[in-house]
Chains A and B, each alone.
Chain A
Amino acid sequence: DAGVTQSPTHLIKTRGQHVTLRCSPISGHKSVSWYQQVLGQGPQFIFQYYEKEERGRGNFPDRFSARQFPNYSSELNVNALLLGDSALYLCASSYLRDFSPLHFGNGTRLTVT
Chain B
Amino acid sequence: TQLLEQSPQFLSIQEGENLTVYCNSSSVFSSLQWYRQEPGEGPVLLVTVVTGGEVKKLKRLTFQFGDARKDSSLHITAAQPGDTGLYLCAGEYGGSQGNLIFGKGTKLSVKP
- For B104, list chain A residues within 8 Å (CB): 40-42
Chain B: minimal CB distance from A64 (Å): 15
Given contacts A42-B104, A42-B105, A104-B42, A99 and B99 within 8 Å (CB-CB): no
Most chain A Cβ neighbours within 10 Å, of B43, B103, B104: B43
How many residues on chain A are close to B (CB under 8 Å)? Answer: 30
Given contacts A41-B104, A99-B50, A4 and B99 within 8 Å (CB-CB): no
Does A101 belong to the interface (CB within 8 Å)?
Answer: yes
Given contacts A99-B31, A106-B41, A41 and B105 within 8 Å (CB-CB): yes
Q: Report how many A-B pairs have Cβ atoms within 8 Å.
A: 72
* In contact, A101 and B98 (Cβ under 8 angstroms): no
- For A100, list chain B residues within 8 Å (CB): 97
* In contact, A90 and B42 (Cβ under 8 angstroms): yes
**A residues 25-59 in Cβ contact with B at 8 Å:** 31, 33, 35, 40-45, 48, 50, 55-56, 58
Interface of B is mostly: loop
* In contact, A94 and B98 (Cβ under 8 angstroms): yes
* In contact, A43 and B88 (Cβ under 8 angstroms): yes
Which of B33, B45, B92, B102 contacts A44 (CB under 8 A)? B102
Does B30 belong to the interface (CB within 8 Å)?
Answer: yes
Does A63 belong to the interface (CB within 8 Å)?
Answer: no
Does B40 belong to the interface (CB within 8 Å)?
Answer: yes
Which of B6, B41, B48, B105 contacts A101 (CB under 8 A)? B48
Residues of A within 8 A of B (CB): 4, 31, 33, 35, 40-45, 48, 50, 55-56, 58, 90, 92, 94, 96-107
9 further contact pairs, Cβ within 8 A, besides A92-B98, A103-B45: A42-B4, A43-B88, A43-B102, A45-B101, A92-B42, A96-B97, A99-B30, A101-B33, A104-B35
Residues of B within 8 A of A (CB): 4, 6, 30-31, 33, 35, 40-45, 48, 50, 88, 90, 92, 96-105
